[in-house]
Every structure is written in C-alpha cells, then in structure tokens.
Amino acid sequence: MAVFQVYRDESAKAEYRWRFFADSGDLLANSGGDGYTQKAKCLAGIQVVKIDAGRYETLASRQGENHWHLMSNNRVDIVAASTNKHLTKEECEREINMFRAQAQSAAIVEVDG
C-alpha cells in the first residue's frame, strides 16, 4: 500500500517533512527543498500532490541523470521531488505517472524521523 510518511527532521529547526513510499515499498519522492514549520502546512502540501495540482518538470544533470519535481501553481515552491535518478527521461516520466496514480489513494501516517 502506498503511503505518505510525515515526520520532523533532526535539524535545529525540527521542520516537518514527508516522504512517499510506493505500493512496492520503494521510496519515490519527498517534500523536497525546505521543510514546513507547521504540520498543517506539511499536510496541505501532501493534499496538493493528492489532488494533482501543480506542474511536473523533468530535469537532467550534467552527468546525464534525470529526475523530476512538482512545482506549485505559483511556480515558486517545489512541492515534491523524486528521490531517484533515471538514465532516461522516459524512465523519469514513468515514475511520475506511477507517483501520480498511487498518491491519490495513499494513506498518510506520522512516524518518528
């Protein structure tokens, strides 16, 4: 079963973050970038992913690895980021499609860091 895990990081700020595990148990994505100062905002970020708001972008590194992230509608904030590197853009797009499909019905659980 796909699941979003909400946790507080171990930084000095102790921010809230989430990570997403696919049905297979593989870690596919996280909240990326900055953490959230409030749990309610972290949960709101997950809801953006669940309703499929925002815009997915694929990016390639200089080393030729591909990854993706989901930008908020304001095109400023990264809402989700892939945790995997892909050899091709097509592999990256397959992971986006799997994430989009599984995120909609994924459970949300709180865990320790």
pLDDT band at 83, cuts 50/70/90? very high
The residue type found at 111 is: V
Q: Give pLDDT tens digits for 30-49.
A: 998 778 999 999 999 999 89
Query: 42's torsion region: left (phi>0), alpha (psi -120 to 50) or beta?
Result: alpha
Tell me the three state secondary structure of residue 99.
helix
Here the CATH number for the domain that contains residue 90 is 2.30.29.80
Identify which has the larger pLDDT, 77 or 106.
106
Whether the pLDDT of residue 75 is over 70: the answer is no
Share of the chain above pLDDT 90, in %: 69
The C-alpha atoms of residue 51 and residue 104 are separated, in whole angstroms, by: 7
The whole-number pLDDT of residue 27 equals 95
Whether the pLDDT of residue 86 is over 70: the answer is yes
The whole-number pLDDT of residue 77 equals 82
Write out the DSSP string of 6-31. EEE-SSTT--EEEEEE-TTS-EEEE-
Q: At 29, list the tokens.
A: 């994505």
The C-alpha atoms of residue 84 and residue 68 are separated, in whole angstroms, by: 9
Residues in the chain, overall count: 113
Range of the domain at 15: 3-110
Element (H, E) at 93: helix 89-103
Cβ neighbours for 88, distance < 8 A, ≥ 6 positions apart = 66
Looking at the structure of the chain, the number of domains it has is 1
Whether the pLDDT of residue 12 is over 90: the answer is no
The predicted model gives 60-70 an average pLDDT of 90
